[in-house]
Each structure stands twice: as structure tokens, then as C-alpha cells.
Chains A and B, each alone.
Chain A
């Protein structure tokens, strides 16, 4: 067979780099990784939201807060198959790896995109369909990332929460959200998270190539519904604590 540098024989040329690196080296591959890690985040955000709804269940007959119970359950999950906190650590490792990949891909593709238009349009541009959400993905992403870091320091590690007591989930939440500045920051960050996942939930289907005329219409609705559920629930937590509805 003849060998040209491109075209027919490309696939038969032994590549120098391992395929995972080769794959991630392409922009389309990076977008695929962003979409897969995005799905992991969406799943996480959803489960996290469901878990936190227990804030509204109050105490059980023994006087233990439902959300503290849930926190304890998370630590015991899959015990004794896994050691205590084993499942939790698996989640943490997967999420951390996803965050690293998602942010690296976002950064690297953003640089690519800036290079692709070194001179901007010199007259005002109009957009026909690009949404506010799609055009602010980088901002909403970075701010949500900063928020996640604060959130971990506040309610997981406790360094940003003077009244933090490990395992006292309910008390920690109340202590944190009773500070108006923090409560407002949580609400704003969750609105931005909403913007990010509104575009992301629709966009990921495109990046992975799950496109089928039969469910394309449904993808927009899915994005709306998913975003609405997450944002309404997540914003309600600081709001209800701040206004004293939950004590």
C-alpha cells in the first residue's frame, strides 16, 4: 500500500503516542472528556441535592437530625465490604480526577479558541442563537469551581466555618448559612451553576454524539427541568436557613 501522510493509510500507521493521549490530544477528544466528566458532575450534583433535601425532614424519634443520619450513612456505605468511608473516598477520588480533567480540557480548549480568532471583529457582533449561558460557560465554570473549593473548606473540612463540628451536618449548615454573606454567596454560585448546567446538559449530547431526531427536542426540556430542580432546591437551603424557616 502506498503511504501518504494523511488519508487512507493514516489508520495503518503505528502511532507514537499511546491512544489515550492521542485521543485527548484532539479537541474533539477533549470535548468528549468534558462531556463524560460533566455527566459525572451532573450525577453528583443531583445526588448531592437529594441528600441535602433531608435538611427539611427535621429529627427522627430519637432526636437525631435526618441529615446527620444521612451523613453517617454515607460514611458507612458498603461496609463491611469496604472499610468505613471507603465508598466516600472512591467518590472523592473519581470526582477529583474528573475536576482535574474537566478544568484542564476547558483551559486548553479556551486557549485553542482564542488562538483561532487572534483579531476580534472590529464592529459589534450579533448573536442569533448563542445563549447567555453558552457564552458564559468559562465564567460560570470558574466561579462554580471557586465556590466548590470554598464549600469544601466550609462544610467538609471546616476551616472556613468557625463553628464547625465534624459529623454535625445540620448544626454546621445552620452555622454557615446564618452568615448572610455566605448564604448569599451560596445562592449566587448556585444560580451560576444553573447557567453552566443548563448549557452543559444540552451540549454534552452533542459532544458525545448522542444525537437522534427523536429525542433532540427533548434535550432542551431535559436541560430546563434538570436545571430548575437543581437550582430551586440548592438555593432553598441557604434561603430557608437565612430566613429562619429551618433552625
Chain B
């Protein structure tokens, strides 16, 4: 198939950036979106031009490195799919495909389509961990987990940290990512000791970089892992409770 790309090119974080059009003839319809970009880049390299910078790693939808705004949609037109799992057969011959990087204050552009998502790492550092005894390995099944809790925690744990939720959110809010990361630990018995401090610390850290949720639901629709916004409600509830509980703990000294 023959397509035309309109790609955001930006040389440095502070450079103005612009759309550049590239003809991409003879693209295999079975190619993934990233493979298509690889082909375009090889051709650019052959011509002595600078290839388009974009992020990727696993290319099987589990690492969260990839992520492009394709025709105005985070991860493109196929829902529940990361950019690396999107295939060219979803497009038509002759299509003009516009590709932009994620845009958010918390995700500054490094170059072309690559953004810096280390703000997500800061949020995880703030509370995305549990304390464990470091002695000998505990017996298996020592801590029993109710099945519904295990399932819900697993659903939350599916988040790959790609940032499509932020990219698609009209407010540039990171609620879905943070809610998934909070819920995945707060739902399990192992996560209880830090439950209230975790949610407070992670939300407070999030608010340093990102916008505020107005419940549009765009994040859920854009999420390659279809994380549910129910987790956002859960996080809000825990955060509000934490504001009281942590306060009470503060009164007890320690």
C-alpha cells in the first residue's frame, strides 16, 4: 500500500518543531505501525536524511515504551492496542497519516516523537512499592488473597505505563495511570501497610506534573490495556480517606 505520512519533527526539546510530509510507497499491509516507520527510516537514512526518532522496546504491547498520537488518537484507531501492535491493514491505500508526539507538560519532548516520561517514575518512587520481610522466603499461600481482589488487582497491574491516558486526556491528567498503580497494590493484603501513605504520596506527586481529572473517560478509551476508570474512583476515595487517616496518625507521633 502507498501512504503519506505527516510527521512531527523537532530537533531539540526547545526547538519549534514542524510537520514534515513523507511519501511512503510500497508498505506491506501486514507490517506493524512501527515496522512501517522502520522502513521509512531506512529509506531516509539511505537518502542521507535524519531518521524519525520514536520510542519502542518490546514491540509486543507489554513494555509501554511506544506511544504515538496517530490521526489525533493516542495509539491510533484500534482500541485496546498499543502502537506497536497496530497494523497497517487498519489503514487504507492512499491514506494521509498524521503522527504527533504525546503532548503534556509532564512529558516534555526530547526529539521528534520521543517524550520524557520520567515523571511517571517519580510517581512510582513516591509510593509504588510494598515493604517485605527480608528473612527467609515465606511459605507459599501464607497470605490469602480473595479471588475478586486478586482479579481486580491483576486488571490494574496490566497498566504498562505508556502514558496514552495523559496524551488523550483533554486536561493532561494522569489519573488512570496513577489509579492503576495505586489500586494494584492497595487491593492486595500485601499493600495494606502503606495503603494510606501510598495513595497520598502518589497523588501528591502526580499533581506536580499533571492536570486534574474531569471524568471525560478519554483515558479509558485510549488505554491499550483497557484499564477501567473505576480505579480512578477507587483512588479518589482512598485519597480522601487518607487525608483523614494520615492526619490521625500524625497526631499519634511516632
Q: Which residue of B lies closest to A14 (CB)?
A: B250
Q: Are A128 and B221 in contact, with the CB atoms below 8 A?
A: yes
- Which among B79, B173, B204, B243 has the greatest number of chain A C-beta atoms within 10 A? B243
- Across-interface contacts of A30 in B (CB, < 8 A): 212
Q: Which residue of A lies closest to B240 (CB)?
A: A32
Binding-face segment, A63-71, A108-116, A179-187, A230-238: A108-116
Interface string of B92-128 (1 = CB under 8 A from A): 0000001010011110000000000000000001110
Q: Which residue of A lies closest to B247 (CB)?
A: A19
- Across-interface contacts of B229 in A (CB, < 8 A): 206
Q: Please tell me if B218 contacts chain A, counting CB pairs below 8 Å.
A: yes
| Docked complex: B8-35 residues within 8 A CB-CB of A | 8, 17, 19
Q: Are B72 and A125 in contact, with the CB atoms below 8 A?
A: yes
Q: Please tell me if B89 contacts chain A, counting CB pairs below 8 Å.
A: no
B101 to chain A, nearest CB (A): 10
Q: Are A6 and B127 in contact, with the CB atoms below 8 A?
A: yes
**Size class of the contact patch on chain A:** 35 or more
A-B CB proximity, top 6 nearest: A209-B237, A211-B233, A116-B211, A11-B246, A116-B172, A130-B216
From the candidates A10, A112, A122, A203, name the one contacting B215 in the complex (CB within 8 A): A203
Q: Please tell me if A137 contacts chain B, counting CB pairs below 8 Å.
A: yes
Residue ranges of A at the interface with B (Cβ–Cβ < 8 Å):
1, 6-15, 19, 22-23, 26-32, 109, 112-113, 115-131, 134-135, 137, 199, 202-203, 205-211, 213, 216
Q: Are B171 and A122 in contact, with the CB atoms below 8 A?
A: no
Q: Are B214 and A11 in contact, with the CB atoms below 8 A?
A: no
Interface string of B171-213 (1 = CB under 8 A from A): 1110000000000000000000010111011011101011111
Query: What would 16 more interface pairs be, CB under 8 Å, given A1-B254, A27-B213, A113-B173?
Result: A6-B127, A8-B197, A23-B240, A23-B243, A28-B203, A28-B235, A113-B170, A116-B209, A117-B172, A122-B17, A128-B73, A128-B79, A128-B218, A130-B216, A207-B215, A209-B235
CB contact under 8 A between A118 and B215, given known A8-B194, A124-B72 = no
Q: Are B245 and A11 in contact, with the CB atoms below 8 A?
A: yes
From the candidates A28, A113, A211, A213, name the one contacting B240 in the complex (CB within 8 A): A28
- Across-interface contacts of A109 in B (CB, < 8 A): 212, 214
Give A213 to B245 CA distance when docked, in angstroms.
Answer: 26
Q: Are B201 and A10 in contact, with the CB atoms below 8 A?
A: yes
Q: Are B172 and A22 in contact, with the CB atoms below 8 A?
A: no
From the candidates B69, B131, B210, name the one contacting A121 in the complex (CB within 8 A): B69
Q: Which residue of A lies closest to B205 (CB)?
A: A6
Q: Which residue of A lies closest to B106 (CB)?
A: A116
Give A129 to B216 CA distance when docked, in angstroms.
Answer: 7
